[in-house]
Structure formats: structure tokens, C-alpha cells
Amino acid sequence: MILLSFIVLIPFLSALILGVIYLYDPNKPREKLYATIGVTAPAISATIALVIEAKLLSMDASTVFHYTLFEWIHIGKFQIELAFMADRLTAVMLFFITFIGTLIHLYASGYMKGDSGYGKFFSYFNLFMGSMLLLVLADNPIIMFIGWELVGLSSYLLISFYHQEYANVTAGNKAFILNRIGDFGFIIGLVVLFISLEGYGYTFEAIEANIGLIDHPTLTIIAILLFVGAMGKSAQIPLFVWLPDAMAGPTPVSALIHAATMVTAGVYMVARFSFLYNDTPDIGEFIAIIGASTALLGAIIASFQNDIKKILAYSTMSQLGYMFIAVGLGAYSSGIFHVFTHAFFKALLFMGAGAIIIALHHEQNIYKMGSLKNKLPWVFIPMLIATLAISGIPPFAGFFSKDAILITAYSSEHYTIWAMGTITAFLTAYYMFRLLFVVFLAPSIRDHKVEPLANSMIVPLIILAVGSATAGLLGIPEALGGSNLFASFVALPDKPLHILHSTEYYLSALNVALALLGTALAYKLFVRRIHEPLNNSVWRYVVVNKFYIDEIYTFFIVKPLLLLSKFLLYFVDGKIINNIINLTVYSYARMGITFASFQNGKVRYYAFYILVGVSFISTSMLILLGGF
Amino acid sequence: MESLLLSAIIFIPFFTALIASILRLSYTKLRSFSIASSLIVFGLVLFLAMQYDPHGGMQFVRTVDWIKNYGISYHLGVDTLSLVLLLLVSLLMPLLYLYMWHENRKGYWYNMLLLQSGITGTILSLDLILFYLFWEMMLLPIYIMIGRYGNGKRQYNANKLLLMTMLGSMSMLFSILYLGYTHFEVNGFWTYSFEDLSVLTFTPSIAIWVASGFLLAFAIKIPLFGFHTWMAPAYGSSPTPAVVILSAIMAKLGIYGIWRFGYTLFEEILVRYSYHIIILALIGLVYYAIVAITQSSLRRMFAYASGSHLSLITLGLFFANIYSWGGSLYFIITHALASAGIFLMIGLLYKRTNTIRIKDLGGIASQAPLFAVFFTFFALSIAGVPGTGGFVAELLIIIGAFKYDLWIGIATASTMLLAMLYTFWMLQRTLFGAVGLATQGFKDLSKKEIVMLLPLTILLLITGIAPSLFIPFIEPWITITLETISQNIGGL
């Protein structure tokens, strides 16, 4: 299937072409050309992806397509091919990455209008698409890691896109460095895995076939280390702090990279290694606990933010937490299903937010918006649908995927995780409707002059709104009369669940009730609110400042590191090592001075030397000749 | 003809300098001469590389008696290790000449010509006395370049470099003489050919002294931790062509020395004490990287970065397995390309702004996008981002490290993190943010400058995207050498 390689190569090629054209003459306005190339490339990938997905759908569940481009490296037993693989898990990822990716590219062609870095933006954006597709299509962990790092790089480039602003570059650095901390764990895990299976081949399939050869302690270490990679990329505790800052990039970037695709790579990776995590249930539980904590923390912070993009960023972090609950507890298909539905509604929310930001001339504070319902109806309706979806109101997409995760937690008797997930569900409805009410319904102090929005921005919103409304229907569980098409399609090795249908009904009903309660609370508190709430209690103050986690990291890690650097330079290098060496030189010079002083031209000294010399020689002669 | 090939490669630059000085050429003519000589040498090296058989061991060997009474001979030869370095030097020289295009101080050109002869001679010598001779010969032009054409406390720093390096050279000379003398004592005739000397066996207590004599010279050249105080001052004061050679080539010659002579003359000692050197190199790897973070000048920052990566290459050498050796040799290539690129660009930056203090820079990206792209690319190559050759090399060394030991492996992998810390903060302060005073009206790269940087960029990309094009070239030599060592000492 040579088509597989086209999916990846076309965006890369287009990124290269765009980059070269842009650099050839950065100041020439060529928006049409850039947009055409920039949007066409992912569209072609999306079309090819559709062909492959259709084929996979019509074939047996175990069908896997392969294509080898060339041998990447072969030294000793380390043999890696630049090869692609598409099974059903890949197909799901491919579908939403290329489909939503194309829509966001289209949206961006309108959003970035008038920006001097238009060509550069699309070059980076396509570079990201290529890297992300490389990540999901890779047939071995090393190529996956390359894609994994390249998405991090393109994310860095796009976060610091407005690089004249120093703070944006800081945000980019922070993202890249925290991701690299994760990658550090990831690559160690991969290398330990390779060493343990040296000579047995290093494709995913070969690893799966030989995983039994690794002893359990080693397997546990590998499982933890790989997850560290996921923590970085998917913004889990404690490596999440980069995600909110990443909102410094243009909004389409937040929609595509920091909501729909890149941040879910960690979940994909865990699902890809499901055969490994099924053998290490302890680590799975650990992942689920991290996921649940992240979900709750994200939701709490999101409830107190005022910046529309920050709210959505924390919300993304929180939803990613849900996904890790699922994959941690062995419900891989539920996790991937939530990745899938989340991609639709979260991309939509970000794009809606971007549309508002553009319409209001780069205003991001929700309390400075207000009563936009009638001014931006085609933003309001899609965002309403997305909000319903993320809040878990049936029959919108988020209900089915989130429900499946909470039911897994409950039925596998992880009640704490379940409780945390359920509280998060309540908070999710609360903070999302808070956003919606404040932005669209609450009265506004000022009368906004709304910038007209390009069709290229509105159309993707509507398409995604349809998706957010209906994507969940692919995964209707048996208890609700469906057959969970999605789970049977992705065919992941889920752990079996044992739960009564009646329990499922209770749980679902509870979730819906909580979501409605959250909505009602948000309505009561915010639908008439005009002013920002004051930070008048310690609790609020702590939460608004994100529990001071950034400050804690700065104080305990960044500052000491810088101090250490200075200390090593000025003290160890400058004082100790340098002085030892200079001391040698100094004593040598000192010696020279001392000896030179002997030769001072004074006769009495010379007479003294002669005296000493003569007596020395005569004494030794006497001794030698036996005179004594 | 073929028997003269290596000599021609060594001496063409030397004779170019000699003839030019006799003819008292003007600098423009000297420039044409130098460029022509460097291109001819490059052509010859390419020809050599095409004739070279990766499986063939030492090739193009030429031995002529020189000082017969003491068994000193003019003994040259090339194998994969030396060919890699040879290719790098001969590729870099024309690019450096392109960089020096408007340089009208003739001493610059003469020194560079002599430097090339010194380096290629060092790489190709198989006789230890000859090796020592060239080893010293390449030091002098660098000394003059820094002392005469450098900046800052140039004379002090040049002296520091000279004295520390000489200290190493002296100890190496003692070891060489001791080896030759022992050979005479044991076998009855003098020789300084390293192949003959490698059959000598010593008691461990003596061997460690002989080995230390060599290792001191190489440790200072690399430099390993503790022997590095000349590094940052010398890099900081060097004119650009000298700093490129220092970091891209000369630092690697320390590695080369250990590889070529260490692993043939006293491999047993190296393997037995590898753990100690690994710890030393690990300290260097972490220490240099941390010190690099807060450096105030670009050159000094990349000097420490370079030190950190050379420690990594040394680590790869001492893990002594196929992955780590492959990684180290690969890193020699990619680090030479990337550090040449970055130091050339720092030179270009200095030409434009008259400063390399990071604090004074900023906002370059918004005025000179091409410059920013190339600069970022080289910096990322040094940091080992996938898609560039540095990643492949680091990955292989890390695999080798884990094969050696789990904890050592983890410590080695930390290079991935540490490189990020200094690279990204430096990029931010140099290229991004508001335009600084020094960077106002910063001119983008000219065509000539692009031509100079493009070969490095393309090679770094190819080494990153398709390492399989290069690995088959270096792997046979590594396999054979490792097997030989393993046989000599009965298993690694």
C-alpha cells in the first residue's frame, strides 16, 4: 500500500514547498497561493485516508496494511525501517486527524488573513500534520518517536509563532522542554524495550509477539517509562503546566494541536502498547489515578479562569484525564472513543472561541464579551452543540464516550476514580455553561462592533457541530439498545467488564442529572453576570493562580538550576579547577624568580657559592675516597 | 600515483603556503590559491573515498624509512576512522575560505593552509613520532590565530591553550619514546609504527603509566572534565575559522587518538578502567551542559555545549559495543557539521553586530528570517532533534549506554534534556523578542553565505533522514575493530 506513505509525505512536501516559497520572499503577499497549497495537502491526505479506512472497514478486523519506504538504519541488531502500518486503531486516528485537520486548515486560511507570517504559518501547520501522521502510521516505536518529537517541534514553532512577543517564546520553550522531559522517559523506555528484545525485531507486531520473553519487573519499568512520555505530551500531572501557556499560539493551532490531535498522542501510544499494559495492571491503575487527578484538577482550575482559551485549555487537560482513566483501566476502545469524540467538540469549541476573538478584535476575557448570541448566531449554535456534547448531555457525542469511561471505572471497582470522574463531569457542565452564558447570553456593558467573519471560518464550525452532535451515536452501548459499533470496529484488547444493565442505567442517569445540575448552577450564577467576580477569598486566589504550581516549579527547579550553573562556572571552574592549574604555572614562575635571584651579580654571593661548592665537592671526595 | 595520494592530500596546502610566501602573493591571489588547493584536496579525498573499501582495513599504506637508526618512518595509511575525519576537514576548508572571502590579513590564510596540513597529517600518520610531529604542527597555527587575530584577552587565552596542550603532548611524547625503547629492549630493533608497537605487553602497573601519558594528551584535547579550563577562553577569543576547526575537527582528534592508539596499544587498560573514564565523561556531559545554560556569550555557550557533546562521544567510545561505537563515529560526523554551522553563523552574526553577547541580541528572526531558519536548524541539530543527524547519533550512543548498564544509560540519556535547556533559552534571547540595539537593521544572509551553509544543512538532513546511506560505510570497520579487541583481551 504505497498510499500509506503518501498520506505522510504529502504534508511534509507541502510544508517544504511553502517554506521555500515563503523564505524566497517573505514580504510578498501571496495568501491565495499559500492557502491553496496549505489546505490542499491535508485534504489529499484526508481523501487517501478515507480510501484506506473504507478498505479496512470492509475487511477482516485483523487486517493490517503495510508499506516500507526504505530501511532507516541497520547496525548490529538494531534494524529500523521507515515503514508505515495501518490497522483499525490507526484508521480511527487517521480519520479524525486528517478530517478535522483539513477543516482547521480551511478555518485557518480565514483566521490568519492579513498576518505577515501567513506562508510561514501554513508551512509549520503542514509540518505538524506530516509529523502527526508519521506518529500514528509508524510501524515501529522508533519512527513513532521521531513523529512524536517532530510534533513537539512544530508545536514549539507554532506556540512561539508571534515571536516578537518574548513571552510567547517562553511559552514555546516551556512546552518543548516539558515535552522533552516526557520524551526522556519515553526514549529510555523504548531503549530498555529494545535491549530486552534485542534480535527479535522491533516493529509493534514483533514486540507484541515476543512480549512474553521479558520478565515482569522489566516490563513494569518499561510501562512506567513509556507513560512518562505520555504525561508530557498529553499534559498530565505533573507535566501539564505547558498546556495553558501553549495558548499563546494562534487559535487554529490550539484547536488542532493542543486539543484535537497532538495532546491525544499519549492516549494513542498507551492504546498502541495495550498488549504491554494488559500485562502490567498495576501501572494501568497508576495511569488511571494520574488521569483522574488531572481530570479533576483541570476542571477545578477551568471553573475559575476568565480567559476563554485558558478555560478551554484546562478543559482539554481535564478531558485527557478521562481518556487516561479509560486506557489505564484497560478500556482502550472507550479511551480512543473519547479521543475521537473529543476531537470534534473541542476543536469546535476552540474554533468558535477563535471566531469570537477575531470578531472582537483579539479580546479573550469572557467578561468583556457578553450578549453575542444575536451578533454571532453561527458561532453560538455550533458552540452550544459542542458545549452540550462536552457536558455529557445525551444524545450528543460526549455523553456516550464519557459514560463508557465512568462505567468502566465503577464496574472495575475503582470507586475513588469513579467518584473523581463523576465530580469532574459535574464541574465540566458547570464551567462550560458558565463560558457559554457569560459570552453569549449575559448582558454586556459595551456595544461590541463585531468584525464580519469569513465563510471559511463558519463552514468548518457547522460541519464539526454536526459531528459533535452525532459522533457519539457510533458508540451506543448495549444497555441503551446499540451495539457499540466503535468498540467492535477498533478491536482493541479491552479487559472484559462485568456490570448489570440496571447499574449502567443508574450511573448514566446520575451523570446526566449532575450535568444538568452543573448547567443549572452556571445559569443561576452567570446568566446575568456583567462583571468579573472578585478574588475575595484565599481559596479563590489559590485556584485562580493555578495552585501556584508554576511558581513552585520555578522556585524549586528552574531557579536552583540557574544558580547551580552560575556556581559551577564561577566557583568550581573559576576558583577550584582554574586555580589548581594556575597554581602549577604560578609555582613554576615563582621557582624561576627564586633561582634568578641567585644570579644577582654581587661578588660576596658568588664567593659564598664557591665556598659551598668547594666544600661540598671536597666532602664528597673525602667520603668516596674513604678519608674518614 | 595511488601511493602518493595520501602525501598529496597532506602536503598540497603546505606547499601552497610555501610557494605563495615565496612569490609574496597579494591576498586576493593568496585567496584563489588557497581555495584552489582546498578544492583539489577535497577532490582527491573524494577520489580516495571512492576507491576505499570499507571492509578492507588499513589501506593506501605507504612506508618510507625516515630516521632509520631509530626505526622512525614516514608511515601513512587510511581506514574508515581516518577517512571520516579526512572527509570532514576537506569539506570544511573550502567553506571556511568562503567565509574568509574578504579577509585581507594574509597571515590568516597562511595559518589556515598550514593548519590543514597539520590536521590531515595527524589523521593519516601511522608512525607515532610522525603522529606527534603533526599533532604539534596543528597546534601552532591555532595558537597564532588566537593570539594574533583573536579578540578579548587573546594572548593570555592563547597561551593558556598552548601550555595546557603542550603539557599533554609532552606526556604523550614520553609514552611514545618509552614504547619505542621497550620495543628495542624486547625485540632488538627500533620501531615507532603503531602496529608493531601494539604487540608489546606490559605489566599493568607500567601499562597504566604509558596509557596515562597518551590519555592526558587526548583528555586535554577533547577536553574531558577537569582538563577543560582552556576551552571556553580559547573558543571565546578565537577568530571564527579557528573556532570552527577547534570544535569541529581538533576536539575530535582527541577521540581519534584514543580510538586509534588507545584501543590498539593498551586496550586492556582501557577496558579495565573504562568505568572510571565513563564516570569522568558523564560528569563532563552534565557539568558542561549546566554551565552552558547561563553563559553570556554565544561562543562560550557553544564551547561548553561542544564539551558536553564530546563527552558524550567519549562515553560512546568507552561503552565499547557496536551501537555506541556506531553512534560515536556518527556523532563525530554530525557534530562536526552542526558545530561548524553554528560557529560559522556566530561569525556571521559577529560581522553584522560586532557582539556575541546574548544579552545584546534579540529580534533577529523578524528582520532576517533566513538567518533565523539556518541558525535554528543548526542549534536544533546540536540538540539532537529528529530529522537531523545528531538524533541518530545520540540514539545509538544511548542504546549502547543501556547495553553497558541501566543506570549509566539513564545518566547518558540525560543529554537529551540538558541540551534543550541551553539551546532553547539561547534561541529565544538571540533570535526572538524585541529588536535589540545591536541587531537593528540586521541584514539577512547573502547568496555567498547561503552557499557556504547549504552543504552543511543538506548533509545534516540526509544523515538524519537516511542514516542507512552512511551506516554500511562505517559498520564493517567497527565490527572488525571490536572483534579484534575482543580477541586480544579475551572478551569485552
Tens digit of each residue's pLDDT (9 = 90 or more) over A49-59: 999 999 988 88
Task: Tell me the DSSP string of A393-456.
Answer: -TTSHHHHHHHHHHHHHHHTT-HHHHHHHHHHHHHHHHHHHHHHIIIIIS--SS---PPPPPHH
Q: Count of CB contacts below 8 A, A vs B?
A: 138
Task: Tell me the DSSP string of B137-156.
Answer: HTHHHHHHHHHHH--SSHHH
What is the reported pLDDT for B492? Answer: 61
In this structure, what C-alpha cell is assigned to residue A297? 484538577
Kindly report, residue by residue over B50-71, the tens digit of the pLDDT. 999 999 889 999 999 999 889 8
CA distances from A325 to A328, A335, B461 (A): 5, 8, 40
What is the reported pLDDT for B321? Answer: 92
Which among A560-569, A613-622, B90-99, B201-210 has the top mean pLDDT?
B90-99
What is the reported pLDDT for A243? Answer: 92
Residue A453 has pLDDT above 90, yes or no: no
Which range has the worst mean pLDDT, A583-592, A609-618, B218-227, B286-295?
Answer: A583-592
Specify the DSSP element, H or E, that contains B64. Answer: strand B59-67
Q: What is the mean pLDDT of residues A90-104?
A: 94
**Using a CB-CB distance cutoff of 8 angstroms, which residues of chain A are in contact with residue B395?**
142, 187
* Eight-class DSSP state of B445: P
Q: What is the mean pLDDT of residues A362-375?
A: 86
**Using a CB-CB distance cutoff of 8 angstroms, which residues of chain B are in contact with residue A183?**
416
**Using a CB-CB distance cutoff of 8 angstroms, which residues of chain B are in contact with residue A163?**
365-366, 431-433
What is the reported pLDDT for A67? Answer: 94
What is the reported pLDDT for A472? Answer: 86
Residue A307 has pLDDT above 80, yes or no: yes
Specify the DSSP element, H or E, that contains A71. Answer: strand A65-75
CB contact under 8 A, B385 and A149: yes
**Closest chain A residue by Cα to residue B479:** A76
Residue A253 to residue A249: CA distance in whole angstroms: 6
Question: In Å, how far is B253's CA from the nearest CA of chain A?
Answer: 23
What is the reported pLDDT for B173? Answer: 95
**Closest chain A residue by Cα to residue B283:** A568
Mutate which: A191, A221, A575, A581, vs B, most B CBs within 10 A: A191
Q: Taking the model in full, what pTM does it have?
A: 0.93
Nearest CB among B294, B395, B421 relative to A569 is that of: B294
The residues near B153 (Cβ < 8 Å, ≥ 6 apart) are B233, B237
Confidence band, pLDDT 50/70/90 cuts, at residue A394? confident
- Is the CB of A575 inside 8 Å of chain B's CB atoms? no
Q: What is the mean pLDDT of residues A308-326?
A: 94
Domain ranges of chain A: 3-544, 553-625
What is the reported pLDDT for A427? Answer: 95
Residue A555 to residue A561: CA distance in whole angstroms: 10
Which range has the worst mean pLDDT, A381-385, A528-532, B488-492?
Answer: B488-492
What is the reported pLDDT for B479? Answer: 93
Helix (H, G, I), strand (E, B) or coil at B318: helix
In this structure, what C-alpha cell is assigned to residue B119? 590536521
**Closest chain A residue by Cα to residue B322:** A76
Phi, psi at residue B76, to the nearest 5°? Answer: -120, 160
Q: What is the mean pLDDT of residues A451-460?
A: 88
- Is the CB of A561 inside 8 Å of chain B's CB atoms? yes
ipTM confidence score: 0.93
Residue B42 has pLDDT above 90, yes or no: yes
- Specify the amino acid at residue A112: M
What is the reported pLDDT for B491? Answer: 64
In this structure, what C-alpha cell is assigned to residue B143? 595558537
CB contact under 8 A, A585 and B467: no
The whole-chain average pLDDT of chain A stands at: 90
What is the reported pLDDT for B192? Answer: 92
The whole-chain average pLDDT of chain B stands at: 92
Residue A628 has pLDDT above 60, yes or no: no
Question: In Å, how far is B296's CA from the nearest CA of chain A?
Answer: 11
B414 CB burial (10 A radius; 0-12, 13-18, 19+):
middle
Kindly report, residue by residue over B135-194, the tens digit of the pLDDT. 999 999 999 999 999 888 899 999 999 988 999 999 999 999 999 999 999 988 899 998
- Is the CB of A179 inside 8 Å of chain B's CB atoms? no
Question: In Å, how far is A268's CA from the nearest CA of chain B?
Answer: 20
Task: Tell me the DSSP string of A508-560.
Answer: HHHHHHHHHHHHHHHHHHHTT--SPPP--SHHHHHHHTGGGHHHHHIIIIIHH
Kindly report, residue by residue over B385-405, the tens digit of the pLDDT. 999 999 999 999 999 999 999
Residue A531 has pLDDT above 60, yes or no: yes
What is the reported pLDDT for A489? Answer: 84
The residues near B206 (Cβ < 8 Å, ≥ 6 apart) are none
Q: Strand pairing of A78-86 and B72-78?
A: unpaired
Confidence band, pLDDT 50/70/90 cuts, at residue B8? very high
Helix (H, G, I), strand (E, B) or coil at B58: coil
Report H helices in A29-165: 31-58, 88-111, 118-137, 141-159
What is the reported pLDDT for A538? Answer: 80
* Residues 369-398, chain A, touching B (beta carbon < 8 A): none
Residue A393 has pLDDT above 80, yes or no: yes
Q: Strand pairing of A78-86 and A65-75?
A: antiparallel
CB contact under 8 A, A146 and B386: yes
What is the reported pLDDT for A148? Answer: 95
Confidence band, pLDDT 50/70/90 cuts, at residue A627? low
Q: What is the mean pLDDT of residues A63-89?
A: 93
Residue A547 has pLDDT above 90, yes or no: no
What is the reported pLDDT for B1? Answer: 61
In this structure, what C-alpha cell is assigned to residue A374? 444575536
Task: Tell me the DSSP string of B66-113.
Answer: EEGGGTEEEEEEE-HHHHHHHHHHHHHHHHHHHHTTT---HHHHHHHH
Which range has the worst mean pLDDT, A363-377, A397-411, B110-124, B322-336?
Answer: A363-377
Q: What is the mean pLDDT of residues B97-104?
A: 92
Kindly report, residue by residue over A212-264, the tens digit of the pLDDT. 899 999 999 999 999 999 999 999 988 999 999 999 999 999 999 998 899 99
Nearest CB among B293, B365, B466 relative to A163 is that of: B365
**Using a CB-CB distance cutoff of 8 angstroms, which residues of chain A are in contact with residue B472?**
74
Identify whether the C-beta of residue B313 lies closer than 8 Å to the C-beta of residue B331. yes
Q: What is the mean pLDDT of residues A506-514?
A: 91
CB contact under 8 A, B425 and A173: yes
CB contact under 8 A, A578 and B431: no
Residue A575 has pLDDT above 90, yes or no: no
* Residues 242-271, chain A, touching B (beta carbon < 8 A): none
**Using a CB-CB distance cutoff of 8 angstroms, which residues of chain B are in contact with residue A565?**
290-294
CB contact under 8 A, A183 and B369: no
